[in-house]
């Protein structure tokens, strides 16, 4: 891939786990500049210290919030490609503060779309979530609406050349706020981890795959798609047991001293997750390692031409329910390969 060579890139919310890895991968392609817009100056300070002096010259750190249209619009001036990673994504926090989730996850993407059209940006990619499918919580509902806004932007952009697309993530292993770092902290400090339900299953993706999917979407989208990576299904029980075993082995802790306690579902949580509905599968193409879900509002004939070399997806929902999860040893391999313990 050399699509990003000499490009001017803006990453909104770029100081998180995914943003930092994306910056490292993008720098390998020698872009002209990468602007990082976020509201946490301390995270920007830490991130800047982690980048070597040669690559640091290509980075510009901007303080601002995706909720502020004027700041977003100024940050986007003379930019080619925009990645919007900014989101409120903690399910209980969004559940108890839905108006705040709307400001970031919905109004924020409206600001991004408006500014991108104003500046005639080449490509805009939104990172979304499996919780946008049949949402049962405020977070999922805001992400569903954000996806719809992105898809519809291709239809309402007027003469702008901008391609708007989204990538739909599962749970990104090791990302800030995810379960593995939390489990590790609880084991080391309290010798106990809290599990909502042993039968719960989740789609899990590595940080490497999440970044790769997002960059492919920026390069290969024709506009209006939602890209969905095919990813493994993991049982929460298996994940908890592997993390306990590996942490105890690494830090010399007696495994019998660690308690796995079941606390039940939190507000807004599901037992299972979906990445694509049956209705969406009728407009989706199977790219091998991922699906590209077309947008009805953008005209399906556009996808028939652009995706003619790919087969149509099998009709049916892509869910973690009723599917075989990977076994414990494969869970262990994924965790160790990403150096999460």
| Residue 42, number of CB atoms within 10 A of its CB | 8
CA distances from 257 to 66, 193, 246, 250, 253 (A): 45, 11, 14, 15, 8
184 annotated active-site: no
Q: Looking at 2-130, which runs of residues are DSSP E strands?
A: 8-12, 33-38, 59-63, 81-84, 123-129
| Of the candidates 76, 78, 88, the residue with the CA atom closest to the CA atom of residue 114 | 76
Half-sphere exposure of 195 (CA within 13 A, CB side): 22
Would you call 103 exposed, middle or buried from its count of C-beta atoms within 10 A (0-12, 13-18, 19+)?
middle
Q: Look up residue 314 and give its DSSP letter.
A: P
| Residue 72, number of CB atoms within 10 A of its CB | 28
Q: 């660690």: which residue's tokens?
A: 258
41/163 Cα distance (integer angstroms): 30
Which residue among the candidates 7, 131, 143, 235 is catalytic per the annotation? Answer: 131
Task: Report yes or no: 135 and 141 within 8 Å, Cβ to Cβ.
Answer: yes
49/30 Cα distance (integer angstroms): 19
**Residue 245 backbone phi and psi in degrees, to 5:** -60, -45
β-pair type (318-319, 274-276): antiparallel
Element (H, E) at 293: strand 290-293
271 Cβ contact partners less than 8 Å away, ≥ 6 residues apart: 197, 199, 200, 201, 265, 321
| Of the candidates 256, 247, 227, the residue with the CA atom closest to the CA atom of residue 164 | 227
Three-state secondary-structure class, residue 235: strand
Catalytic residues: 131
């Amino acid at each position: 891939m050399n699509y990003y060579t000499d490009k001017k890139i803006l990453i909104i919310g770029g100081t998180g786990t995914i943003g930092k890895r994306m910056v490292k991968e993008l720098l390998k392609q020698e872009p002209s500049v990468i602007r990082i817009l976020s509201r946490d100056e301390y995270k920007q300070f830490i991130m800047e210290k982690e980048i070597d002096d040669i690559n640091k010259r290509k980075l510009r750190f901007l303080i601002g919030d995706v909720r502020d249209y004027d700041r977003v619009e100024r940050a986007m001036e003379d930019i080619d490609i925009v990645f919007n990673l900014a989101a409120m994504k903690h399910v209980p926090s969004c559940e108890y503060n839905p108006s705040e989730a709307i400001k970031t996850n919905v109004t924020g993407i409206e600001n991004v779309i408006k500014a991108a059209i104003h500046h005639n940006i080449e490509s805009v990619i939104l990172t979304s979530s499996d919780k946008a499918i049949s949402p049962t919580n405020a977070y999922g509902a805001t992400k569903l609406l954000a996806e719809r806004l992105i898809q519809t932007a291709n239809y309402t952009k007027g003469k702008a050349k901008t391609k708007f697309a989204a990538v739909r993530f599962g749970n990104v292993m090791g990302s800030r706020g995810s379960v593995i770092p939390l489990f590790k902290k609880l084991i080391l400090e309290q010798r106990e981890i809290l599990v909502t339900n042993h039968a719960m299953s989740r789609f899990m993706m590595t940080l490497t795959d999440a970044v790769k999917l997002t960059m492919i979407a920026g390069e290969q989208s024709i506009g209006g798609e939602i890209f969905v990576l095919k990813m493994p299904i993991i049982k929460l029980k298996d994940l908890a047991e592997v993390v306990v075993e590996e942490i105890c082995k690494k830090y010399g802790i007696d495994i019998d001293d660690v308690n796995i306690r079941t606390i039940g579902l939190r507000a807004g949580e599901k037992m299972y997750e979906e990445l694509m509905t049956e209705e969406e599968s009728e407009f989706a193409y199977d790219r091998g390692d991922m699906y590209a879900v077309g947008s009805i509002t953008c005209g399906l004939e556009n996808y028939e031409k652009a995706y003619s070399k790919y087969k149509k997806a099998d009709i049916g929902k892509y869910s973690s329910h009723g599917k075989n999860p990977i076994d414990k040893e494969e869970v262990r391999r994924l965790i160790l390969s990403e150096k999460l313990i």
